[in-house]
Structure 1
Amino acid sequence: PFAAGGAADLFARSLANGLGAELGQQVVVETRAGAGGLTGVDVTAKSAPDGYTICLAGAAALSAIPFMTSKMPFDWQKDLALITLVVRVPEVLIVHPVLGVNTLADFLAYARARPGKINFGSAGAGSITHLAVELLKSAAGIDLVHVPYRGIGPAVADMLGGHIQVIVADVPFLLPHIRSGAFSALAVTSAARAPALPDVPSTAELGYAAVNSDNWYGLVAPAHTPANVLDALRTASLAVLTSAELKKQFDSQNALPSPSTPDEFAGFVRAEQAKWGPVVRATGVKLE
């Protein structure tokens, strides 16, 4: 349910190639972008439950957007069969060097002294990149101004130009800019450090464990897909996700393969909803 060329597309194609080999048939990736990932998931929910349509659903569509609209086109607990969590992607808080801060503590002190004077960019209102900063604002008691963009790429471009000063987004996407020195990485918004940024502390170790905004994707099918078909898809998916080849591909994107049982996946989604629901309500973000 995401545009071609992004991280989700890469994950989907890596998984599709592996599934094709495991199942002995071609698995075609079709992009159905739109509405923060809802469009593609909705197409899947309304497809024939025969195992031939599955979807790599993202964090926002299952755990955050349901709190932003009264017109949710599907109920994930009724209309989808969860197969497995696929991958988790750490996010990182970056700032423009013009702020002159090198640690999270320095940044928070700087922001508290300048309420409403610092701009942060996101991939759009209600995106995980938006809500992650709202989590930080709430936990740290700071006031930053949200500037939404149509995708994280334009936000990064504007930050390079000095028009905004803060972004939280996926490590793989921001890594080149961090390594070039264009931006300063202050904290990985996860429970642990990111392998690609071993010197950047996590928000958890800095005392802000609630600021955890890992992005993630999971494999789902239409509800009422026969149990034997789901079992076959799950077995094949787990074989791919635990393979050395896929681990190598995901490692190159600083992403963590995260195979799970359906019950573990469902519990994870509920925990994510418990985290994002209050944030969405507090910000008043609507997607109508």
Structure 2
Amino acid sequence: MTQRVFTRRAASALALSLAATLPLAAHAQQDYPNKPIRLVVSFAAGGLTDVIARAMQPKLSEALGQPIVIENRPGAGGTLAEALVARAPADGYTLLMTADSVPANPHLIPNLSYDAMKDLIPVAVLTRIPLVMLVNPSLPVNNVKELVAYAQANKGKVSYASPGIGTSNHLYFEVFKDLAKADIAHVAYKGGGPAMADVLAGHVPVTLISSTLAAPQVAAGKVRAIAVTSETRSKQMPNVPTFVEQGFADFKPQQWNGLFVPAGTPAPIVAKLTAEFSKVLKSPEVVARLTELGAEPVMSTQQEFSSLLRRDYDVLGKLIRERGIKAQ
């Protein structure tokens, strides 16, 4: 009898505790945010993802009514930042802004301490940045078909530069090679800057690189742009045809920057972040700055972002396994 009374009392105490906790949790969500928000950026200060985050920072702080503290956590292809956010409290006060390495990383780096596809909630694609295929002016080609023909006629003599093994630039060029059946060797660098420098110098004649890095060099006449990966021509380089125009209808990859939160973050908080980020990406000041950077504001839905991640996870995973590609 005593045991049953104790059990009933314990059950009642637990019920009262839960009843008290639920309103507090609901209030915390309604009151969100009520303290500074940490925005973890997966790449170094001055890189494109960081610059995009800082372009949005003042308007985000204004929209959410709290300071937005940017914390750069570069390294290991973005996995250091991903792991940090995956382990953070799911309360909306730790966010992740990262790039398109997320779906490739699990295939490139074995034994990660987290599962990005389960431990992070994809909120939205924030921006897209088209890639541009550039050639050094010494290479006698003016379009993609001429490049492919030249590579086939000079087997083993044409190479392309990428910012590193496993970067989207590297992986997408390998996809292009499959589509074009082109024999073009890969030369990996430690970043887009060094890769571009050697293309400018003519040491490596070809690269596929973000329009942000490409546009100034094209405008200066230091390299020749032969194709852009966007579905329509770039506003920065309107004279450069797309891959689609040149017969490569299935080659439309673009680099992206996206927003993630830890799994378990309450839906009302995710909805709040979605609404406020969407407003910021429509503000004239932010749109103007992103346009300068060659980035297109997007603000996809969660479903669209999830579908993109799943598709890239499968496609890039298959490519990485077949090529035996491993992270540097």
TM-score interval for Structure 1 and Structure 2 normalised by the shorter chain: over 0.9
Partner of 2:216: 176
SS at 1:134's partner residue?
helix
Find 2:77's aligned residue among 36, 57, 76.
Answer: 36
1:278 shift after superposition = 2.6
1:274 shift after superposition = 3.4
Q: 2:183 matched to 1:152?
A: no
Find 2:311's aligned residue among 271, 278, 286.
Answer: 271
Find 2:291's aligned residue among 240, 248, 251.
Answer: 251
Find 1:7's aligned residue among 32, 45, 48.
Answer: 48
SS at 1:106's partner residue?
helix
Q: Which runs of 4+ in 1 moved over 4 A?
A: none
Find 1:207's aligned residue among 229, 247, 260.
Answer: 247
Inter-partner Cα distance in structure 2 for 1:115 and 1:64: 29
Counterpart residue type for residue 128 of structure 1:
S
Counterpart residue type for residue 222 of structure 1:
P
For structure 1, list consecutive stretches of 5 or more residues without a partner in the other structure: none
Partner of 1:222: 262
Q: 2:104 matched to 1:73?
A: no
SS at 1:218's partner residue?
strand
Inter-partner Cα distance in structure 1 for 2:140 and 2:118: 50
Whether the aligned pair in 2 keeps the contact of 1:115 and 1:142 (CA below 8 Å) is no
Counterpart residue type for residue 112 of structure 1:
Q
Q: Cα deviations across residues 61-82 of structure 1 (Å, max 9, x unaligned)?
A: x222222233233222321122
Whether the aligned pair in 1 keeps the contact of 2:49 and 2:98 (CA below 8 Å) is no
TM-align CA RMSD: 1.4
Inter-partner Cα distance in structure 2 for 1:6 and 1:219: 17
Q: 2:281 matched to 1:241?
A: yes
Q: 2:99 matched to 1:63?
A: no
Whether the aligned pair in 2 keeps the contact of 1:132 and 1:212 (CA below 8 Å) is no
Whether the aligned pair in 2 keeps the contact of 1:135 and 1:210 (CA below 8 Å) is no
SS at 1:28's partner residue?
strand
Higher gyration radius (CA)? 2
Partner of 1:85: 125
Find 1:141's aligned residue among 181, 192, 195.
Answer: 181
Inter-partner Cα distance in structure 1 for 2:228 and 2:216: 15
Q: Cα deviations across residues 247-283 of structure 1 (Å, max 9, x unaligned)?
A: 1111111211111221121112112223322322232
1:210 shift after superposition = 2.6
Inter-partner Cα distance in structure 1 for 2:45 and 2:124: 22
Partner of 1:124: 164
1:213 shift after superposition = 2.4
Whether the aligned pair in 1 keeps the contact of 2:43 and 2:50 (CA below 8 Å) is yes
1:187 shift after superposition = 0.4
SS at 1:281's partner residue?
helix
Find 1:49's aligned residue among 87, 90, 96.
Answer: 90
Inter-partner Cα distance in structure 1 for 2:56 and 2:311: 25
How many residues end up aligned between the 2 structures? 287
Identity of aligned residues (%): 36
Q: Cα deviations across residues 182-223 of structure 1 (Å, max 9, x unaligned)?
A: 111010023222111111111112111232220001100111
